A and B are shown apart, each in its own frame.
Chain A
Amino acid sequence: MTVQTILIIVIAAVFGVAALLAIIRMIIGPSILDRAIASDVLLTEVLCILGADAVMNHHTEMLPVMLMIAATGILGTVAVARFVARRDRARERADG
């Protein structure tokens, strides 16, 4: 087993655990903003995994995808923070 193989296995394990923890936070919430942050982190991890794939397999087909994710990744978070979270607060008020 070469050093590269060991490094690739460790990188895959670290990325897997990181994505799993982000998904756990996305499930348990508690507020919609926590879920928005968790989905943002998960998207960033997808971006990093695409970069890691480019390094491991020595190809550059993923670079346009990375550019588009970097450019449009904020739209979901901004939409949630701007329009959905207000409704979240209104519902809390109605409950209380």
Chain B
Amino acid sequence: MTLDIVALVLVLIGAVLCLTASIGLLRFSDVPSRLHAATKPQVLGMMVIAVGIAVAMQSWATLAFLIPIVLIQMATAPISAHMVARQAYRNGSVDQNIMIIDELADDHDVQRDSG
């Protein structure tokens, strides 16, 4: 009873993180800012919901299944974010005016490979 409510509240936190990501996706102005919003449910929301499942089920087998899910998600989320951000920089869809330091601009390899 009480643990059910705890698990549902944890799921609700994950759902609110998903909503935050979608609002950020809709309101932010360029690709890197939208990536910043998009990473919230991918790692934290997923972890909170996995803890919720573990609390609701209370079995070691479920926990043993949830740990690889969270670990794989944590390993793969940065890869896609990195690829999208790199391609956004090379496409020129990053707003140069709001950037204080652009260290990639000094890197000749980035410019050469950007084809």
Contacts and interface: CB of A to CB of B under 8 A. Distances in A.
Interface of A: 3-4, 7-8, 10-11, 14-15, 17-22, 24-25, 31, 33-34, 36-38, 40-41, 44-45, 47-48, 51-52, 54-56, 58, 60, 63-64, 66-67, 70-71, 73-74, 77-78, 80-82, 85-86, 88-89
Interface string B29-53: 0010011001001100110011011
A31 to B, nearest CB: 6
Given A33-B88, A44-B41, 12 more contacts: A4-B4, A7-B8, A17-B19, A25-B22, A33-B84, A44-B21, A47-B73, A48-B14, A63-B53, A63-B62, A81-B83, A81-B86
B18 to A, nearest CB: 4
Given A40-B38, A78-B79, A82-B83, A55 B72 contact: no
Given A4-B5, A18-B21, A37-B38, A77 B69 contact: no
Contacts, number: 169
